[in-house]
Structure 1
């Protein structure tokens, strides 16, 4: 009896061993790299390199070992990381059409389902992107209306700063609300007061989602969606927060429909509903109420989080480097004086423009770009990249490329000034990515940053909290935000 039980146990053990060996062989065969594929660390069976931490701070270790092109495997997905200005430009611009598509992200595909802009491809993506960029540039009567709207919001924000009476305060909540009001007015035609608790809660949820998208939980979900969708964790917070934001924006759409006038669009929702009616026979363009909601999610989240943190970085650099603050203020006084600044002033404000661009470069808001996918077999720097391979470009390596910037690790507005002190844009300025998939909100962001900062410095002298040395350390997520800090705003 004992011998028979032992025989059964050995037989079961042998079956399990053979089954595991079979899985291992299948994994090796299925995930074998093709000839001349970019090198990378040895992956674990089944799991791949899912536990290998790759972020903009650890990237240099991999570059030093494998070069500017290396690969990892997350589950069954092969991912190629590309660094350095020349190679990133090759991916985003020179071979931009080859790498224009987004790979399917199981987490975001469950939410977007191919709608919106960020996780859409092909004809539908092009039409949604073109429409949204056109609306942002031609809102109302065009640039003048948009300027006036930003000016009014900046006035409200300056008034909120004055209420602090020169005492130390954290500008995050006020700035975030103001920036959200700019994009909110464009998208759904409404602004919220800075003490609106419900709106503040939504903004905090949105920021939390963006932060968690840069975490290992998002990577684990995309590598093993069949398992992770059933497990608790921060990845579930990403999903619930996005759904909550989508529901909030869907309510805005439903409120617009009864009063919608196709001949007199007041905001993005009205314009999109009109476009949907025009394209009702063009089903492939994807214009629908559901697509409208997810385009709004893209615009609201993309247009709020990055600009908020850029302004926070800008103020942090101003209180860190008081001499730079004085130079910007001197130019504002000379060119604008006490009147309201407009975008027409920008061409005559070389140092201010250089300062804003250096903030965007040094702040490095999106260190690792959103992923792309090869549409066909191709080569990069002699390496073979098969169709379907996921490509991730390292924007940090471009903005800090020692071959492109005189002092890449130092905050230096001189990077954007020529020998005569005139502003000059650099080819390696990829703060908004590059190519056809570059950030659709770049135009709006530049306008907001210029108007907000010129009015700020026209109105206030900024200084650190007494006895506190400003820290330039950051909080890493999908975007890079400064750590919480306080400043003093003294009316000039």
Structure 2
């Protein structure tokens, strides 16, 4: 356990001893009879002491081996139910979509919503390339990759996604009353305000050139609809919603796809034989022609590799938490309304019942004996049910077109002297690869 994390827990304990009786009383409440089993919580901190502070999903996967696919943990004073494995996650999020469909009230999220010549670090250029797609949709134009405003926006979003996975933010979500203390949660909120300030400036610019007949962007379309519904007191088209939507689309539309692509290039450097087979298929099907999204149907191996990259990379090991909208009996357990639900996507993407070699990079997971692409029902990197990722279709197109175009033009190799490609993920709300250098060699 990190020293800072231990100190924070100790400080929290001192500040909130008065909560102990409340917690102890709550655990005996009748509404938790026949509640899913789990490790015994300690007063006040619950099970926080046993969770890996940097990669909590690893602890949850281990706990599922003891307690089964539906079990409970206590995050501070709040009980949470963890869903592990494809069957449990799919059954809850799809077959019981109404009961498990509410968005969880997470304190941090609630606060946020108010050169080829040398090896290169591809993080910035990959982020910028993917980000410009969502920027074009939202704003109606693209940024130059060296634009300081654009680079600042990327840095703010990337920093927030990294800090959201920090131990201090986990502690804040369990004990929101410690928000006055310094820490990463303060940095996140400061960054969010800067992102919102940028978005407000864009609003004002859009209002000055608004034309009902020539909408240039998502923001234009939103503002036009806002004007049409200004007399409706119950309208959803108000400025706070626009700020939140744009902020969320920026975050989700920039980092996750670029992280998947970075994992893809890293894995191809690790497994050059896979890279060679992808390039051979590209040459056979496309030649020098520019890839179209429909081409994926003629490129089963490339399609399988992209799916396996997403499965192996596991960039969102714990889905955005849900909350039960009503009391529900699930898998024989009673789960009360308002219970925090944690769909453990890592356990789905590594489910041994659906993937023969879950811990390995193995594109054959998505190929049949004839070499044709096969869908896997346990492939849920975008989650499932009512709160499935809104940008799933855009992300699928981006991944195929970026990946195919890059492999058509370049071969990716480790820098000279690097003999072992490290596949250990970095720490954050998502799981990007660790910083690394890439050699992109132009193909003749």
Structure 1 length normalisation: TM-score?
A: 0.82
Q: CA deviation at 1:22?
A: 8.4
2:162 partner SS = helix
Alignment match of 2:45 (pick from 44, 47, 50): 47
Any unmatched runs of 5+ in structure 1?
1-19, 114-162
Tell me, in whole angstroms, the C-alpha distance in 1 between the residues paired with 2:285 and 2:156.
40
Matching of residue 185 in structure 1 with residue 186 in structure 2: no
Partners of 2:28 and 2:153 in 1: CA distance:
45
Map of 2:413 onto structure 1: 463
**Matched residues in 2 for 1:312 and 1:382: separation?**
42
For 2:354, the equivalent position in structure 1 comes to 404
Q: Which one has the largest radius of gyration? A: 1
Q: How does 1:157-176 map to 2 (within 5 A)?
A: 163-165=115-117, 167-176=118-127
Shift of 1:197: 3.5
Residue 31 of structure 1 contacts residue 76 of structure 1 at CA under 8 Å; is this kept in 2? no
Partner of 1:276: 226
> Greater shift after overlay, 29-38 or 183-192?
29-38
Would the aligned equivalents of 1:209 and 1:241 in 2 still touch at CA under 8 Å?
Answer: yes
Let me know the Cα RMSD of the aligned residues.
1.8
Aligned to 1:476: 427
Distance 1:26 1:319, change over 3 A: closer
Q: Which runs of 5+ in 2 are unaligned?
A: 1-15
Q: Quote the Cα distance in structure 1 between the aligned partners of 2:45 and 2:423.
A: 36
**Which residue of structure 2 lines up, in the alignment, with residue 38 of structure 1?**
36
* Change in CA separation of 1:24 and 1:443 when aligned onto 2, cut-off 3 Å: closer
Looking at structure 2, the residues matched to 182 and 22 of structure 1 have their Cα atoms a distance apart, in angstroms, of: 50
Structure-to-structure mapping, 1:43-122, within 5 angstroms: 43-53=41-51, 55-113=56-114
C-alpha change, 1:377 and 1:177, in structure 2 (3 Å) is: same
Task: Write the distance in 1 (CA, Å) between the matches of 2:23 and 2:405.
Answer: 59
1:196 to 124, 147, 161: 147
Q: CA deviation at 1:61?
A: 2.5
What does residue 372 of structure 1 align with? 322
Name the SS for the 1:340 alignment partner: coil
The structural deviation recorded for 1:74 is 2.3
Moved more, 54-63 or 475-484: 54-63
Cα contact 2:84–2:343 (8 A) shared by 1: yes
Deviation of the 1:280 alpha carbon: 3.6
Q: Cα distance 1:333–1:35, how it changes in 2: closer, same or farther (>3 A)?
A: same
Counterpart in the other structure of 2:251: 301
Paired residues for 1:83-482 under 5 Å: 83-113=84-114, 163-165=115-117, 167-226=118-177, 228-468=178-418, 469-482=420-433
What SS does the aligned partner of 1:405 have?
Answer: coil
Change (3 A) 1:423 1:289: same
Query: Which secondary structure does the structure 1 equivalent of 2:33 belong to?
Result: coil
1:31 Cα deviation after fit: 3.4
Q: Is the 8 A contact 1:170 1:485 kept in 2?
A: yes
Q: Paired residue for 1:148?
A: none
Instruction: Report the CA distance shift for 1:78/1:331 in structure 2 as closer, same or farther (over 3 A).
Output: same
SS of alignment partner, residue 254 of structure 2: helix
Question: 8 Å contact 1:313–1:363 — kept in the other structure?
Answer: yes
Q: Decide whether the 8 Å contact of 2:61 with 2:84 is kept in 1.
A: no
Number of aligned residues: 422
Assess, with a 3 A threshold, how the Cα gap between structure 1 residues 263 and 179 changes in structure 2: closer, same or farther: same
Distance 1:21 1:369 in 2: 32
d(CA) in 2 for partners of 1:37, 1:282: 43
CA shift, 1:206, in A, is 1.0
Query: Does the 8 A contact of 2:17 with 2:44 survive in 1?
Result: no
Using the alignment, how far apart are the partners of 1:223 and 1:390 within structure 2? 11
Q: Structure 2 vs 1, CA of residues 24 and 178 (structure 1 numbering), >3 Å: closer, same or farther?
A: closer
Counterpart position of 2:4: none
Contact 2:112 2:188 in 1 (8 A): no
Cα contact 1:374–1:388 (8 A) shared by 2: yes
Cα shift readout 1:274-330 (whole Å, capped 9, x = no counterpart):
232344455445211221111000101001110110010010111111111111111
Q: What is the CA-CA distance between 1:376 and the residue it aligns to? A: 1.1
The 2-side partners of 1:74 and 1:480 are apart by 21
Q: Residue 432 of structure 2: SS of its match in structure 1?
A: strand
CA distance in structure 2 between the partners assigned to 1:75 and 1:319 by the alignment: 42
**Equivalent pair of 1:470/1:485 in contact (CA under 8 Å):** no
